[in-house]
Amino acid sequence: MRAIRNCIPALSLLVLGLTSASHAWAEASDKLWPSLKESFFAGKTLEPATFIKLEGPRRAESGAQVPITLTIDKAANDKDAIKSVYIIVDANPIPLAAIYHFTDMTGSPQLSTRIRMETDSYIHAVGETADGRFFVTDTIIRAAGGCGGTVDGDDTAVRAAAGKIKLNAEPAAQPGAPTAIAFHIKHPMFTGLQRDLVSGGYKPAFYIQKVAFTHNGKPVMTADFAVGVAEDPYLRFNYHPDSSGTLEVKAEDNEGGMFSQTLEVKK
């Protein structure tokens, strides 16, 4: 994973050069993926996976807020259970949007979130098993202008509001069914590619980079975010608590801001 993260800066410049000349609502290109695959997963075989489903709108209303849903039809105790999933937006200036890490408590993972998209693109979900196998699926979404543009507002107020968390649970519908968790954190998620409306300069990147959920201190799920995650990050996911207790979420941004919230959950 460290090797994958280390290639992001150089790779982002490469893809930025490829996308900067593109036009809004350009057709999604399948020619970006071979280079991205080699950069992120060099020497790895990525097997097509029907049990990983990635869904989103055919055409997003806003490139800054594109909803996607990831579903993995494989139980956590399967020998080839998916432990991590990489979400890669091929045509984004910085393609890697997020990495999600699952545990036995997430069962057969299902989560919904929102991402940024700069232009029409293939989106790849690459699942990794505990023993190092890789599986891949993709979808195409049409979108425009979600990574750049201009931003306005009082920086002091924006930063003061950052980190406010809402955490809610929907009890299991029946015994054995998962509990649905909705997580929302206030944060501008500046990409570093947006211009300040007043000064005309680029806003420095400022984003939530890690979110970790635990139940009674046991890991449930963690997420590594990059600037391809939409403003005010949102996650809805299922998990199977092994007992009643406390669900806690801790979030950290790239400037060292730390935020947390707890929720009492009944099994």
Put the strands of the sheet holding 46-48 in their side by side order. 46-48, 134-141, 121-129, 82-89, 96-102, 218-225, 208-215, 245-253, 258-265
Task: List the pLDDT tens digit at each of the 267 positions of the chain.
Answer: 443 444 443 344 334 444 433 344 468 999 999 999 999 999 999 999 999 999 999 999 999 999 999 999 998 888 889 999 999 999 999 999 999 999 999 999 999 999 999 999 999 999 999 999 999 999 999 999 999 999 887 888 999 999 999 999 987 777 778 999 999 999 999 999 999 988 889 999 999 999 999 999 999 999 999 999 999 999 999 999 989 999 999 999 999 999 999 999 988
Please tell me the predicted confidence (pLDDT) of residue 21: 36
Domain holding 21, by residue range, is 2-265
Please tell me the predicted confidence (pLDDT) of residue 75: 84
Please tell me the predicted confidence (pLDDT) of residue 81: 93
Any idea what the CATH number is for the domain that residue 220 is in? Answer: 2.60.40.10
Structural domain total, the chain: 1
Sign of the alpha-carbon dihedral angle for 54, 141, 36, 86: negative
